[in-house]
């Protein structure tokens, strides 16, 4: 259904019209307010009016008025949250190649049409992996009765035999430890354990999930278990992609909950442990799918493009609210609000909803290939894929002078506490195929320290997204997109990849 027909509950509308912090809730039930490590959270806000749209030195009256036209509706109307409810509760989980992923494509096209924004599909061939049956248990022994495991198969996992498999477990904490096991891994289930505690740890340990099972197969293992990459758990497993290159032996692989990882670790200290694992995964023929592309054509330089990206697919567990429904509705709302201005910005604003970010990055690669001749005219690209938390500031990956160029445009972001430049990466997985074309990347950084509480799990649902925080980040994205499209000058193109950028297949 279109957002124009979605009625926002009065209680939610009132929340969006104030900047008061939500009432205190238990950690399990509260909408998360993600925080970037090293950045302290502000004190709880006192009830007040919607944040003012600041003017600021150097910003003309006309630009101040435009900031109001763009940011105030994003803050007050609740349109982004209502649209997120449509996507998550209406379409649901959207693993690429599935019927619900195609339903999401059609939903996006209808939504752009309702907004008066021109949109179309661009073809993408995607993998079609299906989860199937999944369960496991620690086998009863002289030391313990049998214990069930809370687990999710990893995307790309091979199935077990229909009757399952049972084998002894060996624990490692790194790929180097796995290599050191040598023949001791043969015939075993390799258990990759780690100590992820905060969002910054994700990059340290993600390789255990993405590369560990394939490495275990090369050592002769029969299956792999990986501790979930999570910053919180109520025995909630978190899935994600694992990668087997062409010619690799594929083996069954699953993520176990943090609590079950602790149990396995403790029990292994006392002696041998066996696990029985049943996974009914299947790999079907590749499917035809689509990126969804929409744009507002620039009034003076329509061939110069400011790209706003997010990924439309999600995992098949939860409903992909933070990952990446929040990013999808932010960039869609930016397009809707910019399209309503009496005058289009100088340059074209193009939104791309990528398909298959989670388990293949096919959409990002397909866009970069199809638009290769245009990429030299892509003057900036911005991807939203870190959840729906509050905005913190702006990051850049561009040539010299980027901050000086954009600094005069930051003043309106003071009203949402994001009028600052931040050190750190500005790229995203779906933008990474554009790096060889030296496209400047701009990030609207959001508070994502609690993002991995629910990331890739059954808990990634609408209730975890705070509507006020989503509205603030939407307002920030909208204004930054307009600034990039309207600024007379352009960012200098970078000459090298970001040194601390996440790996292309970050998921």
Ranges of H-type helices in 166-309: 175-181, 202-210, 212-218, 258-269
171 is catalytic: no
| Catalytic entry in 86, 357, 358, 469 | 357
Q: Give the span between the Cα atoms of 224 and 239, in whole angstroms.
A: 13
Output the six-digit token pair for 134.
């999944």
Closest among 303, 318, 305, 336 to 474, alpha carbons compared: 336
Continuous segment of H or E residues that includes residue 359: none
Is the omega angle on the peptide bond into residue 94 within 30 degrees of 0, that is, cis? Answer: no
Instruction: Give strand pairing partners of 350.
Output: 295, 307
CB atoms within 10 A of CB 342: 6
Rounded distance between C-alpha atoms, residue 270 and residue 263, angstroms? 11
Q: Which residue has 């995992």 as its token pair?
A: 315
Q: Rounded to whole angstroms, how far apart are CA atoms 137 and 430?
A: 37
User: And the tokens for 96?
Assistant: 């690429």
Cα separation, 135 vs 145, whole angstroms: 17
Beta strands in 150-281 (DSSP E): 151-153, 165-172, 189-192, 223-227, 253-256, 274-279
d(CA 496, CA 149): 45
Bridge partners for 254 per DSSP: 153, 225
Exposed, middle or buried: residue 85 (CB in 10 Å: 0-12, 13-18, 19+)? buried
- Find all residues with CB under 8 Å of 343, minimum gap 6, and list them: 299
Helices (H), 160-307: 175-181, 202-210, 212-218, 258-269
> Residue 102 half-sphere exposure, CB side, CA atoms within 13 Å?
10
Residues 368 and 434 sit within 8 Å (Cβ to Cβ): yes
How long, in residues, is the chain? 507
Torsion sign (Cα): 222, 228, 234, 236: negative
Closest CA to 49 of 16, 97, 73, 23: 16
Contact 335, 114 (CB under 8 A): no
The DSSP secondary-structure symbol of 88 reads I
The whole-angstrom separation of Cα 211 and Cα 166 is: 23
Residues with active-site annotation: 357
């Amino acid at each position: 259904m279109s957002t124009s027909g979605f009625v926002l509950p009065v209680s939610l509308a009132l929340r969006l019209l104030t900047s008061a912090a939500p009432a205190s809730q238990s950690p399990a039930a509260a909408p998360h307010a993600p925080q970037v490590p090293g950045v302290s959270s502000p004190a709880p806000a006192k009830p007040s009016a919607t944040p003012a749209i600041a003017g600021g030195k150097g910003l003309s009256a006309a630009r101040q008025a435009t900031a109001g036209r763009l940011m105030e509706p994003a803050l007050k109307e609740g349109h982004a949250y209502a649209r997120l409810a449509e996507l998550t509760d209406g379409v649901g989980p959207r693993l690429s190649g599935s019927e619900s992923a195609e339903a999401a494509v059609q939903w996006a096209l209808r939504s752009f049409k309702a907004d008066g924004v021109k949109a179309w599909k661009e073809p993408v061939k995607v993998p079609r992996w299906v989860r199937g049956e999944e369960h496991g248990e620690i086998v009863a022994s002289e030391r313990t009765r049998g214990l069930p495991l809370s687990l999710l198969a990893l995307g790309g996992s091979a199935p077990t035999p229909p009757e399952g498999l049972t084998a002894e477990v060996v624990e490692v904490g790194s790929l180097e430890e796995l290599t050191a096991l040598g023949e001791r891994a043969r015939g075993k289930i390799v258990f990759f354990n780690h100590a992820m505690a905060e969002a910054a740890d994700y990059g340290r340990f993600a390789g255990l999930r993405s590369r560990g099972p394939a490495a275990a197969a090369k050592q002769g293992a029969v299956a792999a278990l990986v501790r979930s990459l999570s910053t919180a758990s109520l025995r909630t497993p978190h899935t994600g992609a694992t990668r087997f290159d062409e010619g690799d032996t594929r083996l069954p692989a699953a993520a176990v909950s943090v609590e079950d990882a602790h149990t396995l670790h403790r029990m292994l200290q006392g002696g041998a442990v066996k696990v029985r694992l049943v996974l009914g995964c299947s790999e079907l023929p590749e499917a035809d799918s689509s990126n969804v592309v929409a744009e507002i054509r620039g009034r003076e330089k329509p061939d110069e493009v400011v790209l706003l990206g997010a990924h439309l697919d999600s995992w098949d567990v939860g409903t992909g609210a933070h990952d990446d429904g929040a990013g999808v509705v932010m960039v869609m709302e930016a397009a809707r609000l910019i399209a309503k201005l009496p005058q289009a910005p100088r340059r074209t604003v193009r939104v791309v909803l990528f398909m298959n970010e989670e388990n293949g990055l096919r959409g990002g690669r397909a866009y970069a290939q199809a638009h290769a001749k245009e990429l030299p005219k892509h003057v900036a690209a911005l991807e939203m894929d870190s959840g729906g938390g509050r905005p913190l500031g702006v990051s850049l990956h561009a040539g010299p002078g980027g901050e000086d160029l954009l600094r005069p445009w930051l003043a309106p972001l003071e009203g949402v506490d994001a009028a600052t430049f931040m050190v750190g990466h500005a790229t995203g997985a779906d933008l990474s195929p554009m790096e060889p074309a030296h496209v400047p990347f701009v990030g609207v950084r959001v508070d994502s320290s609690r993002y991995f509480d629910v990331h890739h799990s059954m808990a990634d649902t609408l209730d975890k997204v705070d509507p006020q925080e989503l509205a603030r980040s939407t307002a920030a994205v909208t204004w930054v997109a307009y600034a990039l499209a309207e600024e007379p000058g352009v960012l200098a193109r970078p000459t090298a990849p970001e040194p601390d950028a996440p790996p292309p297949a970050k998921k």
